[in-house]
Chains A and B, each alone.
Chain A
Amino acid sequence: MPAPLTLFDKLWRSHVVTERDDGLALLWIDRHFVHEGSHHAFGQIAARGAKVARPDLTFGVADHYVPTRGRGLPIPDASVARMVDQLSANTAAHGITLFGLDDARQGIVHVTGTEQGLTLPGLTVVCGDSHTSTHGAFGAYAFGIGASEVAHVLATQTLWQKKPKRMRVGVDGMIGLGITAKDIMLTVIATIGADGAAGHAIEFAGSAIRGLSMEGRMTLCNMSIEAGGRCGMVAPDETTFAYLAGRPFAPAGDVWTAAIDDWRRLPTDADAAFDREVALDGADIAPTVTWGISPEQALPITASVPDPAGMADAVKAAATRDALDYMALAPGQKLDTIAVDRVFIGSCTNSRIEDLRAAAGVLAGKRAKVPGLVSPGSSLVKQQAEQEGLARIFTEAGLEWVESGCSMCVGMNGDMVAPGERCASTTNRNFKGRQGPGARTHLMSPAMVAAAAVTGHLTDVRRFS
């Protein structure tokens, strides 16, 4: 009998072209997404006179710099316009399909790529963006790469990689009402630390994970990188197949049937060994928010801001002091008394239709006490949310409903949180200055952001259900 393999082992094995004595393997890459930031790599291959090896497996998306207002009008900021135009020029020159600003399918690369059926179980997926881990939700090996690696994939459709170790994060048990994938993931990161999965490929497993929708699984895998993981993945199952069926670029007909047969063989074999195992009880997970400047600085909303004075670990105490100082919080303060200045619903973590429905469910018929922005993950999500009446709920609550892009997740397009302002946000990084210089970010689920909008402070969303 062949040795039992993990999902990751199977993905790795099916993509090795050749292996070197130093442990590096040359992997075949099935999908490569490029965005405005990929221009360095296009420059590198132009400098050597190379062509894009497989334009048919390369897809461009305009997202990081795109304006979220005034679509269709010329972009006012010249440097932003240059970034967007350069992507159009580079993709056109190499015959790469582009979901550009004028395309109805435009959106954040990790939302558009998956929604179009480009990401499938059993594939390798790369992009010059760390949150490429999102695509692992389909049972793909998906990871972010650096500029030189983007150039390498463009020129060869392959990549030299060292095999990571395997780690299983199991979440079993019934998760409570109002608890989402975001709460699960923030709890995982708080438990294992922001570098807890360093050097590992994470597989999320267990009954609580099986019960998640594809949207939820994408939120989970999206933030694998925030736990230090090389990638995150969930084994494909009926939920995966149902999501993919009929998507524009997904296989159809006989090929679809053959695909499902193969995909059913991908899940980790019984008795396959992992280098590390972490187990969480789903019943223990509460709505979770971050209070600090690293995603690991997260606690249940029912808790209080930690006190560095009581910490045995001096390094942790110093980090806590630094975080409290930046976030302007006092030790012992109840988390649900922290007042916010604005809210943001968007980013590749939480901007899909299910996320917008959850936020709208809390906001329906209410007014937000603070201003805020809602940027759907893709232009198609935007369209659907408008058809479902969600957009009206947001605007009637007083929030601004804008076009799709990375927007206030990173502020490259000018959507920023003002210095010193506190923002309840559905994004993935609460680093110092991430949403703008001096901005203070609290990460949480879309429903929790909506609850903060309605009350003006961090709030346990279970009050609303």
Chain B
Amino acid sequence: MRPFTTETAAMLKLPVANVDTDQLIPARFMKEPRKPEGYGRFLLHDLIAEADMPKPEAGQTILVARRNFGCGSSREAAVYALADFGFRAVIAPGFGDIFASNCVKNGVVPATVSEADAEALLAAGNLPVTIDLEAQRIACGNIVVDFTIDPVWRTQLLKGWDDIDLTLAEADGIAAFLAQDAAGRPWAAPRR
């Protein structure tokens, strides 16, 4: 996975609360083979068909929205669609639990801000936004706000580690567990 340090880009502003994963990618587009590539063109398909909704544009890699972003069904395809379109970070005053952890699995930063800070960013002019994961800070023109993220996820994203990398870093702990386990549960291995 590509490590994330800072990202400066145009921002997609979605002044909507409770954008669920079905809005991120409607279920009917998921009959295709489960490959992350190719989902981007269905991103927010039905939502942006509505009048006055901003459409995602090439070059936008950071999304800001209102509370409870990514709630609903656990489908990982919602994040595939975001990542495949090019998004690297989502900013909101709260996320669906499974969605946020799926973001991290796919290298997308779920940055939690206060309601007031989200509103400030949504109201900001059309300036590029910078998100600094190390400093946990977002800057857009003269708006500078801090965000929170689970420390384990932050490390993973900074290092570009997926869950498997994270676990492989526990090699010593696993070895210690196994040494103790082999003595305690000699019957646990399948008989050969």
Contacts and interface: CB of A to CB of B under 8 A. Distances in A.
- Do A and B make up one complex? yes
Interface of A: 14, 17-18, 20-22, 24, 26, 28, 30-31, 40, 48, 50, 56-57, 117-118, 120, 122-123, 146-148, 151-152, 155-156, 158, 160, 248-252, 255-256, 258-259, 262
Nearest to A116: B190
B189 interface: yes
A18 to B, nearest CB: 5
The SS class assigned to the B binding surface is helix
Contact of B189 (A18, A56, A155, A256): A56
Contacts of B168: 155-156
25 contacts: A17-B177, A18-B170, A18-B173, A21-B151, A26-B170, A28-B181, A30-B188, A118-B190, A148-B105, A148-B163, A151-B164, A152-B163, A152-B164, A152-B167, A155-B168, A156-B167, A156-B168, A158-B170, A249-B190, A251-B186, A251-B191, A255-B186, A255-B191, A258-B186, A262-B185
B188 A120 contact: yes
B143 interface: no
Contacts of B163: 148, 152, 160
B173 A262 contact: no
Contacts of B167: 26, 152, 155-156, 158, 160
B58 interface: no
Contacts of A158: 167, 170, 174
Interface residues of B, number: 25
B190 A22 contact: no
Contact of B188 (A20, A26, A123, A148): A123
Interface in B136-192: 150-152, 163-164, 167-168, 170, 173-174, 177-178, 181, 184-192
A51 to B, nearest CB: 12
B191 to A, nearest CB: 5
Interface string B56-78: 00000000000000000000100
The SS class assigned to the A binding surface is mixed
B2 interface: no
Given A14-B185, A21-B151, A151-B164, A57 B174 contact: no
A17 B170 contact: yes
A26 to B, nearest CB: 6
A24 B156 CA distance: 15
The 8 closest A-B pairs by CB, nearest first: A259-B187, A251-B187, A249-B190, A17-B177, A156-B167, A18-B173, A155-B164, A255-B187
A339 B46 CA distance: 42
A120 B187 contact: yes
B164 A56 contact: no
Nearest to A24: B152
A20 B169 CA distance: 13
Nearest to B164: A155
Interface in B22-61: 34
A156 B186 contact: no
B76 A148 contact: yes
Contact of B164 (A22, A30, A50): A50
